[in-house]
Structure 1
């Protein structure tokens, strides 16, 4: 004669079922979203490179004509501190349709490469590619590069700090003088902090150093990452820049 289920046994089975679903959700959030974002990145890399048409007359003065507001994916970010082959595509927008694809997104208030102001970008630190997982390893003096069809914008890190989500002044035209006028050309990266939390934001500011045209070949520090992206090359004049 079979036993009738008790309240305790039914509750136990429900808890087990809920636990299994929670584990599956965590696995999807931490594992599958990274895989999906990685696949999406590869697709975007190919699209970016195929649409590039370098302007050989542009020498880095004024807004980079290769980047048009609202035009989607337009370049790559390289941070050697995060790995010799580390790079991530950059696109306009910071909504889920951009950063959940494992891309760096440019805020709509941000300047364009080459403009006075703050080229501010956002990306996930965990899930959806976890592209900025190791951003806390970036220190003052580290060099970062933003590549467009026309060349590489070189920036040197001056600050890596933690702020509240409400401190949007980190996106100001001069992030080291919030509220003041644009002064200089800046690159700012933002991501969530601490890991597995959205309680705070980790923010890295870097100051413009130089521009290297595509015709001169990639900087030595990111040559492997550039080659991995399959970026079309013009006839190099002076490869091995830093």
Structure 2
């Protein structure tokens, strides 16, 4: 019996160590991956935005000529998300796409939903507890809070209108008018989705916001 007890104890200790290593990887390992990915995406986006803004010189003055931005390529960066409530250090470069590989880099934009600033519903998803947890604090947002989306030339200012907890199968929140599939959109809205509760994927926390202003982006 003592031998059996010793073997069981050793197995439990081994299991505990393996579990601790797994948790450490999920937290610090994935965070480091996303941190490095964000640096690369930020540099790439700076180059893309610089190329999209061409300075044309005319007699006596110079002005910027901004051609229409091309549709974002799958998996590539195209916007920056900022939330003033979370402080100036909170900013994430978002990519086009919401696959596991996309969301490991940072917040992802649902293909087929509206682009930032356009009439319709621009939908972004992000991790809440791993991969630097960009959407970890989304539950703290309250009506009136600002969510800023920087694009090549504009900063779109959205104001939070509310939030909802839904099942992962509820795709109505992705509709042009959130929660009203089939209805035609008449205004620009923003939807953020993430897992709920923390450390679980049983539900989705969904934050809704509406466009209140668009202004020239400052570097």
Answer yes or no: same fold by TM over 0.5.
Answer: yes
How many residues align? The count is: 206
Is the 1:76–1:147 contact (alpha carbons within 8 Å) kept by the matching residues of 2? Answer: yes
Q: Which residue of 1 aligns with 2:35?
A: 38
Q: Which residue of 1 aligns with 2:158?
A: 155
- TM normalised by structure 1 equals 0.79
Distance 1:68 1:116, change over 3 A: same
Is residue 19 from structure 1 mapped to residue 16 from structure 2 by the alignment? yes
Q: Which runs of 5+ in 1 are unaligned?
A: 59-63, 218-230, 232-242
Q: How far did residue 70 of structure 1 move?
A: 2.5
Q: How far did residue 67 of structure 1 move?
A: 4.9
Which stretch shifts more, 169-178 or 115-124? 169-178
Is the 1:67–1:148 contact (alpha carbons within 8 Å) kept by the matching residues of 2? Answer: no
Equivalent in 145, 164, 174 of residue 171 of structure 1 = 174
Is the 2:125–2:192 contact (alpha carbons within 8 Å) kept by the matching residues of 1? Answer: yes
Q: Which runs of 5+ in 2 are unaligned?
A: 55-63
Equivalent in 123, 131, 135 of residue 128 of structure 1 = 131
Equivalent in 45, 65, 73 of residue 48 of structure 1 = 45
Q: Which residue of 2 aligns with 1:93?
A: 97
Structure number having the greater strand percentage:
2
Q: How far did residue 100 of structure 1 move?
A: 1.1
Query: 1:117 and 1:57 mapped to 2: Cα distance?
Result: 26
Is residue 109 from structure 1 mapped to residue 112 from structure 2 by the alignment? yes
Distance 1:86 1:67, change over 3 A: farther
Q: How far did residue 57 of structure 1 move?
A: 4.8
Which stretch shifts more, 48-57 or 20-29? 48-57
Distance 1:79 1:202, change over 3 A: same
